[in-house]
Amino acid sequence: RPDSVTDQSIVLVGLMGVGKTTVGRRLAKQLGLGFVDADEEIEQAAGLTVEEIFDRFGEDYFRDGERRVIARLIEGKRQVIATGGGAFMNEETRALILQKAVAIWLDADIDTLVKRVSRRNTRPLLKSGDPATILADLAAKRNPVYATAHIHIMGNDSPHEITVDKIIKALQ
């Protein structure tokens, strides 16, 4: 883990549905830091939802915007940053996060993820089939990469405050 953790942003990575946005927002509040959600930043910059960006311009276009937005956020003031599930798969983004921030892999069992994603069915990658199967495939492919984050936290617990407390302990 980098030395000067006290002035580095905290970046949450992990699969869709794990709770990066909810946990990130509450973590930021506890730490007295600002919070930003990378997907929301991309939506604001584009004036479109993530779903609309995928539909109109395709995934590659989204990934390009995602890479640029996260680079900008990492260079900014210390804050808590929630990323979309695919962001950390980009080699350049990952290198930047690992070098300049504290990367936290927020992880959960597939059953937990399936339950949580079912609350919002606007995720483009989950539209093509059974969410449980898609999430399990993504986990198999992505978990080895998420595992390169500095800190690994299981986030199955409810309420999310339990997970927030675990992160705070891990950061100490």
Binding site for ligand S3P (CB under 6 A): 16, 20, 39, 50, 84-86, 123-125
* Residue 58 labeled ligand binder: no
Q: How far is the CB of 118 from ligand S3P (least distance, A)?
A: 13
* Residue 19 labeled ligand binder: yes
HEC secondary structure over the chain: CCCCHHHCEEEEECCCCCCHHHHHHHHHHHHCCEEEEHHHHHHHHHCCCHHHHHHHHCHHHHHHHHHHHHHHHHHCCCEEEECCCCHHHCHHHHHHHHHHEEEEEEECCHHHHHHHHCCCCCCHHHCCCCHHHHHHHHHHHHHHHHCCCCEEEECCCCCHHHHHHHHHHHHC
Q: Which is nearer to ligand S3P, 5 or 160 (CB)?
A: 160
Q: Which is nearer to ligand S3P, 84 or 131 (CB)?
A: 84
Q: How far is the CB of 150 from ligand S3P (least distance, A)?
A: 19
* Residue 63 labeled ligand binder: yes
Q: How far is the CB of 6 from ligand S3P (least distance, A)?
A: 27
Q: Which is nearer to ligand S3P, 24 or 101 (CB)?
A: 24
Q: Which is nearer to ligand S3P, 16 or 81 (CB)?
A: 16
Rg (CA), the chain: 15
Per the annotation, binding residues for ATP are 17-22, 123
Per the annotation, binding residues are 17-22, 39, 63, 85, 123, 142
